[in-house]
């Protein structure tokens, strides 16, 4: 749509809304629903339903499709994730969702006085620390819709949990704190949602808190996250006065009564809010028109717009990733959660509205669109593994076909046939046995050997789903057992955690022979050390955490290496010629091997060995022995011997060739640079910034938020050890910070020199 037409259209929209006939008039009578919990037969007004009926009339891809009965069933499924910055209230919100949907009988708070803890934080450590460590899956029914939910951790050290959840979900709720607004981890989570094209709703939580300002948060979503969004609700009172919400689409006021907000009352919009409601409704229609031509056309043609039409337009714009409807409330004070559930059903897509692709291994990884039919060939992705009470539990998202208990599945990667001994639907740490699971569902199977990211089929196709993004660990520490006789238990724990969490790695330090564990941060590693102690009864001694440096080259360097050995028996002969160079900055690969040889100087059967030799050499750069990345190896020539050439000879030739030319390629050391966000009262801003400068950080933003200063900086992880204690003493305990991986970048010359000298000293003393 042209800019001029659009401007005209908006002007028209404003005048229609101002005249007040764009939406139905406010309801004239108050309706009270004294519906007790659980609300399975909730007498919701038919025009504003939590049931699937409303979807049947939508102008979405579903409409044409609903000729097939399975599509009708699918319309009633929502697979959603709840993600946000730390402590925004995801778990508290999920607890209410489970309560209102009748999944649990009572509400328990995170760190609540009853000591029980929220259902989704089922691990002891989660309950003690009041943080979510692992994502937990559950399911519930709202009206006649089935909602599968994954509650994910907020702390950036557990980011893989968010990553894998978003890979398999169709929609998400981004929870934001009405005081904290868009915080650093909200930006990360939003980026992850973008990566997997996940349509989302926003829920501004904690409207009861002092300083709550949902409009400030909406402004931040527009500016910081660059989303087209608008509120679909307006709060009735804020902070202590927060009593209810006005639904801007249906022009009704909602109040949440009863001990747990389970009794909903609708009423006319309070007189003192009518002007604000008209204003915010206009803002909503403007924002949706920007994302939906159909709604925009209605304005242009001067047609009245009903609540139903506005709702359909919001749905089209949301599922099309062009708009984010913003809900609000207070999970803790039991306000607004039921309306959010309606929003999930009304505005987020069902499984068949999301296009999913797979790669056909029989056709050189050709992309194949999945129909989402339960009658098609089975395609399921293993997105999470967990050691359960009864063996390995594998979480699967079924994309096509049906899994039945007792059926055979084939792992596309290994070709192995596996019988499905037990199929369950998860509810945090509880499970329900089921006989079959259809496309669109998220379930778990027991006793199936596989790795995270493996695809299962029924054997009639060789499809693989693309897997998720796995970030590289940034921190390591040496770990040994306190006593000698617990070795087997220790290995068992490490093997299990490594298998479950792709961001947790274990290796042996070749020099010291020590076991090294690596992960996403201090908290991540601390949690595993504690879990080894609690779950495997193994006490450990850990070394000082250290950062994961890497090495890379900055210029091209030639190699020409002949590996020749002829001392008795069969000799070894292999010559490789070529160059190494840095990969382009935007390259997604970390290593590339190109064979640019003309002719057959080296027989093609040795190419794999040569590539392997270079890969092996890259495991340990000669500056400080850390992995080398962002490297391209180009082979241009070489020589072989009819008798003495072998795979081993060429592998060794590659290994030595790399060592020969590495120094000439001007290698540098890269260190993890973190994005640190610090929030502290204004009076401490100066000392916080001064301290960041001393830590060789670079301030990238600083703003005022109420009485607080929010400082964003890029700081080398190596200089961030012990920061929480330092910040606490610097700000009289009033400062808080979050930190997440930003990128690896070259260390300054003096630091490089120091690191290289230390490495040499250590090597000489060994
Ligand atoms: N005042 C107020 N407090 C809330 C609200 N929702 C949650 N909280 C509190 O905020 C704290 C964090 O809540 P959680 O539900 O654990 O937050 P979370 O986002 O799941 O936390 P992580 O998973 O650790 O990131 C707890 O103390 C909650 O009681 C709310 O609506 N109002």
Q: Greater confidence, 538 or 38?
A: 538
- The span from the CA of 219 to the CA of 232, in Å, is 14
Tell whether the model's pLDDT for residue 724 goes beyond 70. yes
Tell whether the model's pLDDT for residue 667 goes beyond 70. yes
Cα 245 to ligand 1 centre (Å): 20
**Binning pLDDT at 50, 70 and 90, where does residue 575 land?**
very high
Interface predicted TM-score (ipTM): 0.97
- To test the pocket of ligand 1, the residue of 185, 332, 333 to mutate (highest count of ligand atoms within 8 Å of its CB) is 332
**Binning pLDDT at 50, 70 and 90, where does residue 50 land?**
very low
Query: CB neighbours (10 Å) of residue 132?
Result: 27
Q: What is the dihedral of CA 587, 322, 55, 151, to 10 degrees?
A: 60
Q: Exposure string (b/e) for 720-731, b if CB count within 10 Å is 16 or more? A: bbebeebbeebb
Tell whether the model's pLDDT for residue 6 goes beyond 60. no
Cβ–ligand 1 distance for 83 under 6 Å, the answer: no
* Average of per-residue pLDDT across 399-411: 89
| Among candidate residues 478, 491, 551, the one with its CA nearest the CA of residue 518 | 478
The predicted-structure confidence for 189-200, as pLDDT tens digits, reads as follows 888 788 788 899
Indicate the helix (H) or strand (E) that contains 757.
helix 749-765
Q: Nearest residue CA, atom 29 of ligand 1?
A: 110
Cα 674 to ligand 1 centre (Å): 25
Cβ–ligand 1 distance for 149 under 6 Å, the answer: no
- To test the pocket of ligand 1, the residue of 90, 110, 153, 328 to mutate (highest count of ligand atoms within 8 Å of its CB) is 110
Cα 130 to ligand 1 centre (Å): 9
Cα 88 to ligand 1 centre (Å): 5
**Binning pLDDT at 50, 70 and 90, where does residue 127 land?**
low
Cβ–ligand 1 distance for 325 under 6 Å, the answer: no
What pLDDT shows up at residue 510? Answer: 65
The residue count for the chain: 766
DSSP 71: H
What pLDDT shows up at residue 598? Answer: 87
Tell whether the model's pLDDT for residue 609 goes beyond 80. yes
Cβ–ligand 1 distance for 89 under 6 Å, the answer: yes
Indicate the helix (H) or strand (E) that contains 716.
strand 708-716
DSSP 748: P
What pLDDT shows up at residue 336? Answer: 92
Instruction: State how beta strands 366-370 and 233-236 pair.
Output: unpaired
Cβ–ligand 1 distance for 752 under 6 Å, the answer: no
CA angle 287, 250, 245 (to 5 degrees): 90
CA angle 27, 33, 39 (to 5 degrees): 130
Closest atom of ligand 1 to CA, residue 126: 24
Tell whether the model's pLDDT for residue 323 goes beyond 90. yes
Return the minimum-mean-pLDDT range out of 178-187, 588-597, 627-636, 712-721.
Answer: 178-187
Cα 331 to ligand 1 centre (Å): 8
Label each residue of 524-548 as H, E or C: HHHHHHHHHHHHHCCCEEECCCEEC
Cα 482 to ligand 1 centre (Å): 37
Q: Give yes or no for a contact between 424 and 434, defined as CB atoms under 8 angstroms apart.
A: yes
Q: Give yes or no for a contact between 16 and 22, defined as CB atoms under 8 angstroms apart.
A: yes
Task: Provide CB contacts within 8 A for 8, sequence distance 6+.
Answer: 300
Query: CB neighbours (10 Å) of residue 504?
Result: 20
Cβ–ligand 1 distance for 239 under 6 Å, the answer: no
The predicted-structure confidence for 88-103, as pLDDT tens digits, reads as follows 888 889 888 888 888 7
- The span from the CA of 44 to the CA of 48, in Å, is 7
What pLDDT shows up at residue 135? Answer: 66
Cα 152 to ligand 1 centre (Å): 13
Strands (E) in 310-365, as ranges, are: 324-328, 356-360
- The span from the CA of 271 to the CA of 26, in Å, is 11
Label each residue of 281-317 as H, E or C: HHHHHHHHHHHCHHHHHHHHCCCCCCHHHHHHHHHHH
Cβ–ligand 1 distance for 280 under 6 Å, the answer: no
Q: Annotate 156-169 with DSSP letters as a single string.
A: GGGHHHHHHHHHH-
Cβ–ligand 1 distance for 88 under 6 Å, the answer: yes
Cα 736 to ligand 1 centre (Å): 16
Tell whether the model's pLDDT for residue 2 goes beyond 50. no
| Among candidate residues 130, 344, 393, 394, the one with its CA nearest the CA of residue 232 | 344
Return the minimum-mean-pLDDT range out of 14-23, 148-157, 254-263, 415-424.
Answer: 14-23
Cα 120 to ligand 1 centre (Å): 13
Cα 85 to ligand 1 centre (Å): 10
| Among candidate residues 464, 444, 380, 321, the one with its CA nearest the CA of residue 168 | 380
Tell whether the model's pLDDT for residue 21 goes beyond 70. no
DSSP 626: P
Cα 332 to ligand 1 centre (Å): 8
Closest atom of ligand 1 to CA, residue 130: 16
**Binning pLDDT at 50, 70 and 90, where does residue 230 land?**
very high
Indicate the helix (H) or strand (E) that contains 488.
helix 487-500
Cα 108 to ligand 1 centre (Å): 12
Cβ–ligand 1 distance for 563 under 6 Å, the answer: no
**Binning pLDDT at 50, 70 and 90, where does residue 692 land?**
very high
Average pLDDT along the chain: 81
Cβ–ligand 1 distance for 419 under 6 Å, the answer: no
Cα 258 to ligand 1 centre (Å): 21
Cβ–ligand 1 distance for 281 under 6 Å, the answer: no
Cβ–ligand 1 distance for 154 under 6 Å, the answer: yes
Cβ–ligand 1 distance for 91 under 6 Å, the answer: yes
Tell whether the model's pLDDT for residue 66 goes beyond 70. no
**Binning pLDDT at 50, 70 and 90, where does residue 765 land?**
confident
Q: Nearest residue CA, atom 11 of ligand 1?
A: 87
- The span from the CA of 18 to the CA of 13, in Å, is 8
- To test the pocket of ligand 1, the residue of 92, 207, 235 to mutate (highest count of ligand atoms within 8 Å of its CB) is 92
- The span from the CA of 91 to the CA of 428, in Å, is 12
Tell whether the model's pLDDT for residue 628 goes beyond 60. yes
- To test the pocket of ligand 1, the residue of 89, 109, 161, 527 to mutate (highest count of ligand atoms within 8 Å of its CB) is 89
Cβ–ligand 1 distance for 206 under 6 Å, the answer: yes
Q: DSSP 3-state assignment of 766?
A: coil
Q: Nearest residue CA, atom 9 of ligand 1?
A: 89
Residue 136 CA neighbour count, 13 Å, CB half: 22
Cβ–ligand 1 distance for 461 under 6 Å, the answer: no
CA 499 to chain centre: 18
Cβ–ligand 1 distance for 92 under 6 Å, the answer: yes
Cβ–ligand 1 distance for 738 under 6 Å, the answer: no
Cα 452 to ligand 1 centre (Å): 30
> 587 — phi, psi (to 5°)?
-65, 140
Cα 102 to ligand 1 centre (Å): 21
- The span from the CA of 708 to the CA of 688, in Å, is 12
Tell whether the model's pLDDT for residue 460 goes beyond 90. no
> 469 — phi, psi (to 5°)?
-80, 125
Angle of helix 607-618 versus helix 647-662 axis, rounded to 10: 40
Cβ–ligand 1 distance for 334 under 6 Å, the answer: no
Instruction: State how beta strands 572-582 and 631-639 pair.
Output: antiparallel
């Amino acid at each position: 749509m042209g800019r001029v037409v659009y401007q005209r259209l908006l002007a028209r929209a404003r005048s229609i809304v101002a005249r007040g006939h764009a939406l139905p008039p406010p309801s004239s009578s108050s309706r009270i629903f004294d519906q007790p919990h659980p609300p399975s037969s909730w007498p919701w007004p038919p025009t504003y339903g939590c049931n699937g009926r409303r979807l049947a009339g939508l102008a979405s891809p579903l409409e044409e499709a609903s000729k097939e009965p399975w599509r009708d069933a699918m319309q009633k499924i929502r697979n959603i994730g709840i993600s946000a910055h730390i402590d925004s209230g995801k778990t508290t919100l999920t607890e209410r969702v489970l309560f209102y949907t009748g999944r649990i009988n009572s509400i328990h708070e995170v760190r609540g006085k009853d000591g029980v803890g929220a259902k989704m934080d089922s691990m002891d450590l989660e309950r003690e620390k009041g943080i979510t460590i692992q994502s937990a899956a559950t399911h519930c029914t709202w009206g006649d819709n089935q909602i599968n939910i994954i509650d994910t951790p907020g702390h950036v050290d557990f980011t893989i949990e968010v990553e894998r959840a978003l890979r398999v979900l169709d929609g998400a709720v981004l929870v934001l704190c009405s005081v904290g607004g868009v915080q650093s981890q909200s930006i990360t989570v939003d980026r992850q949602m973008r990566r997997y094209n996940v349509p989302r709703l926003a829920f501004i939580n904690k409207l009861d808190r002092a300083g709550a300002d949902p409009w400030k948060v909406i402004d931040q979503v527009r500016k910081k996250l660059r989303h087209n969004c608008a509120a679909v609700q307006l709060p009735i009172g804020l902070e202590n006065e927060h009593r209810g919400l006005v639904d801007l689409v249906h022009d009704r006021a909602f109040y949440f009564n009863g001990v747990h907000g389970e009794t909903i009352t609708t009423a006319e919009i309070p007189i003192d809010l009518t002007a604000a409601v008209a204003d915010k409704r206009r803002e909503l229609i403007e924002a949706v028109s920007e994302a939906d031509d159909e709604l925009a056309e209605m304005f242009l043609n001067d047609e009245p717009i009903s609540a139903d039409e506005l709702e359909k337009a919001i749905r089209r714009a949301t599922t099309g990733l062009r708009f984010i409807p913003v809900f609000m409330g207070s999970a803790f004070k039991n306000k607004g959660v039921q309306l959010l559930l309606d929003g999930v059903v009304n505005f987020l897509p069902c499984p068949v509205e999301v296009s999913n692709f797979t790669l056909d291994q029989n056709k050189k990884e050709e992309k194949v669109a999945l129909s989402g039919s339960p009658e098609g060939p089975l395609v399921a992705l293993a997105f999470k593994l967990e050691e359960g009470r009864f063996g390995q539990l594998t979480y699967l998202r079924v994309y096509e076909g049906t899994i039945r208990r007792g059926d055979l599945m084939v792992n596309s990667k290994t070709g192995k046939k596996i019988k499905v001994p037990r199929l369950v639907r998860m509810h945090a740490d509880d499970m329900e046995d089921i006989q079959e699971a259809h496309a669109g569902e998220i379930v778990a199977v027991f006793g199936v050997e596989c790795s995270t990211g493996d695809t299962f089929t029924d054997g009639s196709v060789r499809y693989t789903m693309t897997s998720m993004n796995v970030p590289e660990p940034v921190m390591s520490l040496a770990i040994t057992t306190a006593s000698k006789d617990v070795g087997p238990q220790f290995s068992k724990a490490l093997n299990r955690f490594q298998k479950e969490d792709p961001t947790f790695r274990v290796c042996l330090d070749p020099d010291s022979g020590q076991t090294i564990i690596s992960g996403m941060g201090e908290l991540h590693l601390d949690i595993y050390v504690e879990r080894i102690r609690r779950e495997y009864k193994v006490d450990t001694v850990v070394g000082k955490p250290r950062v994961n440096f890497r090495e890379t080259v900055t210029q091209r360097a030639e190699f020409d290496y002949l590996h020749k050995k002829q001392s008795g028996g069969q000799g070894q002969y292999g010559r490789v010629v070529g160059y190494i160079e840095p990969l382009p900055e935007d390259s997604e690969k970390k290593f590339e091997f190109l064979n640019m040889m003309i002719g057959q100087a080296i027989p093609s059967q040795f190419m794999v060995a040569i590539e392997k030799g270079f890969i092996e050499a890259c495991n340990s750069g000669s500056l400080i022995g850390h992995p080398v990345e962002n490297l391209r190896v180009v082979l241009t020539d070489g020589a072989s011997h009819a008798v003495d050439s072998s795979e081993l000879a060429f592998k060794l030739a590659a290994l030595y060739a790399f060592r020969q030319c590495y120094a000439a390629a001007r290698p540098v050391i890269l260190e993890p640079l973190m994005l640190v966000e610090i929030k502290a009262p204004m009076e401490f801003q100066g000392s916080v910034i001064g301290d960041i400068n001393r830590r060789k950080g670079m301030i990238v933003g600083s703003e005022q938020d109420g009485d607080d200063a929010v400082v964003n900086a890029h700081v080398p992880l190596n200089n961030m050890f012990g920061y929480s204690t330092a910040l606490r003493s610097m700000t009289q305990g009033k400062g808080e910070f979050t930190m997440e991986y930003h990128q690896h970048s070259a260390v300054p010359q003096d630091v490089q020199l120091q690191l290289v000298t230390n490495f040499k000293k250590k090597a000489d003393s060994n």
